[in-house]
Structure 1
Amino acid sequence: MDVEPFALERWFARVEHEADVMLAESGIRSLPASRFDTDPGDLGYVIPTNGDPDFRADVAATYGRGNEEVLFTCGAQEANLLAVLSLVDEGDHAVVVTPTYQSLRSLPDAVGEVTTVDLDPPGWDLDVDAVAGAMRPETTLVVLNNPNNPTGRYLDEGTVRAVYDVAADNGAYLLCDEVYRQLAQDPLPPVASMGEFGVSTTSVTKAYGLAGLRFGWLAGPPEVVEAAWNWKDYTTISPSAFGQHVARQAFDDRATILAESRRLARDHRDRTRAFVERHDLAWYDPVGVNGFITVPDGFATGQAFCERVVEEESVVLAPGDAFGQPDYVRLGFGLPTAELEEGLARLDAFLSRHG
């Protein structure tokens, strides 16, 4: 198995550490540890290694499933890896809706063969017939990210159910990375609640502001969860005891935490929209905390623009090139308000000099 380098993470590794403002962060602002009881007791393995059964049962209930149909993981990244390893073998085929977070395409491509189906800009609409046309007899998996990273497009329930039906009718599973779902004002039903071929992954990173816990989960039919747990024995064995301890508290207080996150995301989206309009740029008004913005005139690609911005203003943006979309840059507006204001002010200054 040969996986390609993760372009976005390599970019961050090169520029993030020395920069003043990280305006490419893709989650909501981090919550302070002081908000929680941070003493989990003895720091041993979580037993059973798939996660606390009572906590899994409570999470599973939000999907209309039982605790044996949820596996706790070290973030959504591990959940997606385990799902792909469980559902794609050598010789299998996957259909991936793009642009998307690179691992959702690169992981199945490292194991089997991938056909991509592109969202159509500027509205980033999905042609379900194109998904159906990409299916093959050996297709075992369809991959969706909704709300989408990087575009912020939130496909409606009818579209998602139509994609689910395409997958199910072909005996394939629909894997949906739903890390931004709880940032929507009116979240859609999760894919894992749609039927026996639905698999959902998520974490407490993007909507809760708890990236440092590295805690997430996979929800889906028991045969998928069992296979993912088998693979997990070879990755992290169990979730973090500390992560599970704090995540349990956050989940119990999710109504309050998510309301706070949604208010912040809404306010910051308005501030970022004003910036976009001020400079006559374009974007799709996003759900979540990522804006996919057109590259300003005078710059050949998103990569070229981001290189100049970090060099001159010490502000990190995410080049659209890392998502296969060189005419765009991703701007993350979920960071603390003062940092967002500082980053946008520096971009204002940069664009005023180069306008």
Structure 2
Amino acid sequence: VPIIADEIYEDLVFPGNHFYPIASLTTEIPVLSCGGTTKKFLIPGWRMGWILIHDKHSRFGNQLRQGLNSLAQRLVGPNSITQGALPQILKNTPKQFFESTIHFLHANALLAYNALKEMPGLHPIMPSGAMYIMVRVVMEYFPEFESDLHLVEALVSEESVFCLPGKCFQYPGYVRIVLSVPTDMLKDALNRIDNFCHKHYRSLLPNKRQHNIEFERHSSLVSYRVITEFKD
């Protein structure tokens, strides 16, 4: 069974982590590795990508290669200027560009993570790479919203901040925040998210059950001792 590997983020790995191509882990199983400029250069509008065929034992044969070539020519998207410039872009883009991109995204990821983890009802996941951060929203703390989609709609309406709801990825209860915006803009967005969370957060109070009430009288004074047990 061949493997189709989505490796679009292969060059967006933060310090301390390492990317291992799927094809480097096997010499027997054929692999189709999908990549592109969208994430590597932070330019999704170019719609320029490719498929690398790793098939050391020629299990795919010519038919698959011909099919992929035909499919690539039928898809509408990239313009001819970008297609013509792509070889030079891949060959001559200085290494410093990618290093500065990683540094910028990593700094924004740390900024977002440290800010979000202090906000009530949110649990961010520090990414190992890529250009966004996933944040768990404990929906029980936001009872007025039916889902992460409903919460995101309210966030846009009230604070003009858009996060992609996890529902889009079959990952309900999460939101995705993009890190490729300028740092000042990200700080502003984080402040607005913080305001939103404090406005809508509702603490989960434990269920109270009163087990016994005793009345004690001391020297004509009436005191009430309420023995209450709290259970989650």
TM-score (norm. length: structure 1): 0.47
Matches within 5 A, 1:1-355: 172-185=1-14, 186-193=17-24, 194-195=26-27, 197-220=30-53, 221=55, 223=62, 224-236=64-76, 240-252=79-91, 253=93, 255-280=95-120, 281-286=122-127, 287-296=129-138, 297-298=141-142, 299-355=145-201
| In structure 1, distance between residues paired with 2:80 and 2:18 | 29
User: How far off is 1:275 after superposition?
Assistant: 1.8
User: How far off is 1:254 after superposition?
Assistant: 5.2
| In structure 2, distance between residues paired with 1:319 and 1:184 | 23
Letter in 1 for 2:12: L
C-alpha spacing 1:259/1:352, structure 2 compared with 1 (3 Å): same
User: How far off is 1:312 after superposition?
Assistant: 0.5
Larger Rg: 2
Letter in 2 for 1:232: A
Letter in 1 for 2:41: Y
Match of 2:210 in 1: none
| In structure 2, distance between residues paired with 1:241 and 1:300 | 46
What do the CA deviations read for 1:116-157 (whole angstroms, capped 9, x no partner)? xxxxxxxxxxxxxxxxxxxxxxxxxxxxxxxxxxxxxxxxxx
C-alpha spacing 1:192/1:240, structure 2 compared with 1 (3 Å): farther
C-alpha spacing 1:243/1:291, structure 2 compared with 1 (3 Å): same
Q: 2:12–2:102: 8 Å Cα contact kept in structure 1?
A: yes
What do the CA deviations read for 1:65-107 (whole angstroms, capped 9, x no partner)? xxxxxxxxxxxxxxxxxxxxxxxxxxxxxxxxxxxxxxxxxxx
Match of 1:129 in 2: none
Between the two structures, name the one with larger relative contact order (CA 8 Å, sep ≥ 6). 1
C-alpha spacing 1:273/1:239, structure 2 compared with 1 (3 Å): closer
Letter in 2 for 1:345: N
C-alpha spacing 1:335/1:250, structure 2 compared with 1 (3 Å): farther
User: How far off is 1:283 after superposition?
Assistant: 3.0
Match of 1:158 in 2: none
User: How far off is 1:234 after superposition?
Assistant: 2.9
* Sequence identity (%): 23
User: How far off is 1:295 after superposition?
Assistant: 1.4
Letter in 2 for 1:350: F
| In structure 1, distance between residues paired with 2:78 and 2:174 | 36
User: How far off is 1:206 after superposition?
Assistant: 1.0
User: How far off is 1:342 after superposition?
Assistant: 2.0
TM-score (norm. length: structure 2): 0.70
Q: 2:116–2:124: 8 Å Cα contact kept in structure 1?
A: yes
| In structure 1, distance between residues paired with 2:154 and 2:188 | 17
Q: How many residues align?
A: 183
Letter in 2 for 1:190: P
Q: 1:319–1:329: 8 Å Cα contact kept in structure 2?
A: yes
The runs of 5 or more residues in structure 1 that have no matched partner are 1-171
User: How far off is 1:187 after superposition?
Assistant: 4.0
| In structure 2, distance between residues paired with 1:319 and 1:239 | 28
**What SS is found at the alignment partner of 2:45?**
helix
What do the CA deviations read for 1:276-316 (whole angstroms, capped 9, x no partner)? 21115213321212222111421442112101101101111
User: How far off is 1:338 after superposition?
Assistant: 2.5
**What SS is found at the alignment partner of 1:288?**
coil
C-alpha spacing 1:342/1:248, structure 2 compared with 1 (3 Å): farther
Alpha carbon RMSD of aligned pairs, Å? 2.2
Letter in 2 for 1:201: C
**What SS is found at the alignment partner of 1:205?**
helix
Structure holding more strand per residue: 2
